[in-house]
Chain A
């Protein structure tokens, strides 16, 4: 077959913003497919747990507009993965509403194949009665409690489920949680490209221009990337002439945010890049040959993700400018903790179990915690925060207000003041912030190979 050109307009829809001029410029490549993902688990469990997006709506709207207007210029298969950030049902609704608004403003209608990747909890509990569902990157098998605790459980789908969406012939495939690389690979695999090559191309494209470099003076902050697939290789290059790729820039990206640069687990198997090699084929383009795909010999597995609410949260932010306070901070925190525990234990609330009190010192070890090798260096100033996570917002507030005074008025060694031990950053001093979530589902589920767990509905926007 001739070359199959996939375009990646951005690293994440709604995040940095697609460059519209560069997007239109990329049409000179004769595009066969356009794909983008809108999400990741990287920003933490809150967004999945709370059903919230992690990008501004106006920015998502603008990216949707550029991509949907692009479809009017040249109709290609278009895949948008991990809708609304986390790919849960509220996230799909959020992105679909935005796409509807865009289509209405354009005065056009688009058909959208929506792939639901949220799994039914009863189905998972039935599966748990018959089998063990192993952890992904940890060794705790899934329990019924984990399933119940999660607000929503999504499966990260692969190429095969996305192809089912493309087969509907809808203008756009909008997937729930989807593997980033698979969003780019799916249209190519459907067109007959090798799966290993297509997924490796997807891996290079998924962070947009991250695998390219701007020439000095380039005015485009992020440019779309193009992968041209042919046989057992693909060529990657930035879509605009003011950017370029080198073997180093591409292989540098293979390092990024993965435990291994050349072996990557994907839905249904392993992408093996260990035998692949790169050639600089022009000043701006790099060719990658020999990437391989290995089906999982046991079964087709997908990764499940789910987050649970830990509690409601209040925050006290302050600054310490007294060297003796900073030096004696651990004593101060223990004093404040003990005072809170003594007050709330008789009310039936145990610290560390029913509620949490967390201190951080910015300037000492707030970024690295127990891994910080320089925590004995005392700075002249440090940020101090106290967070309370409790079963209700009201209780979090009560504990935080009570707890604050332990920190503010205690008599640490070397105290020379009576007014208060730290500078408050805000009035009110106690801030109510978003609830705290944590991952409770991050497991590998064998699924039926026909992808029937992920129903597809074609809807119209506009």
Chain B
């Protein structure tokens, strides 16, 4: 399953002028816990999903149980709004996160027959 099929909020925004921050928020607490405990989401996977960027450009994954979600910060290629920048407010950097594969059948083996 793709992340977008189980997480209703997948979004990005600037976190200051030098970083994008990507948020993934779940409705279902079981999905949140399953994804968190599976350890599928790693810095390495994010770097790979964003066209194999250097791992130093990706922060640790920050899990937030109360918000039932996680976030990861990605170093911008250029500072916000400078001439070569691609996305001034960082509002469309979430798409590769949508397509991350979550092996849900492995996380919930009993429910898949």
Contact = CB atoms under 8 A, between A and B. Distances in A.
B105 interface: no
A262 B51 contact: no
Contact of B67 (A45, A137, A251, A372): A251
A44 B67 contact: no
A45 B81 contact: yes
A439 B81 CA distance: 8
A420 interface: no
Measured as residues with beta carbon below 8 angstroms from the partner, the interface class of chain B is 35 or more
Interface string B68-89: 1101011001011111111111
B73 to A, nearest CB: 5
A252 B8 CA distance: 12
Nearest to A310: B83
Interface in B76-109: 77, 79-89, 92-93, 95-96
Interface in A268-312: 277-278, 310-311
A437 interface: yes
A375 B53 CA distance: 14
B31 to A, nearest CB: 14
A46 B81 CA distance: 7
Interface of A: 41-46, 136-138, 247-248, 251-252, 254-262, 277-278, 310-311, 313, 356, 358, 360, 365-373, 375, 387, 389, 436-439, 442
B81 A255 contact: no
Contact of B83 (A42, A375, A387, A442): A387
A366 B16 contact: no
25 contacts: A248-B25, A248-B68, A252-B67, A254-B64, A255-B25, A255-B67, A257-B14, A258-B15, A259-B16, A259-B71, A261-B71, A262-B64, A310-B82, A358-B83, A358-B84, A367-B93, A368-B86, A368-B92, A368-B93, A371-B50, A371-B53, A371-B77, A437-B82, A438-B83, A442-B18
A387 B82 CA distance: 13
B62 interface: yes
A371 B83 contact: no
A366 B93 CA distance: 11
A137 B81 contact: no
B43 interface: no
Give 5 closest A-B pairs by Cβ, nearest first: A44-B81, A438-B82, A251-B67, A257-B13, A369-B86
Contacts of A358: 83-84
Contacts of B62: 260-261
A88 to B, nearest CB: 16
Nearest to B63: A261
Contacts of A366: 86
Contact of A256 (B23, B81, B89): B23
B81 A43 contact: yes
Nearest to B74: A371
B79 A254 contact: no
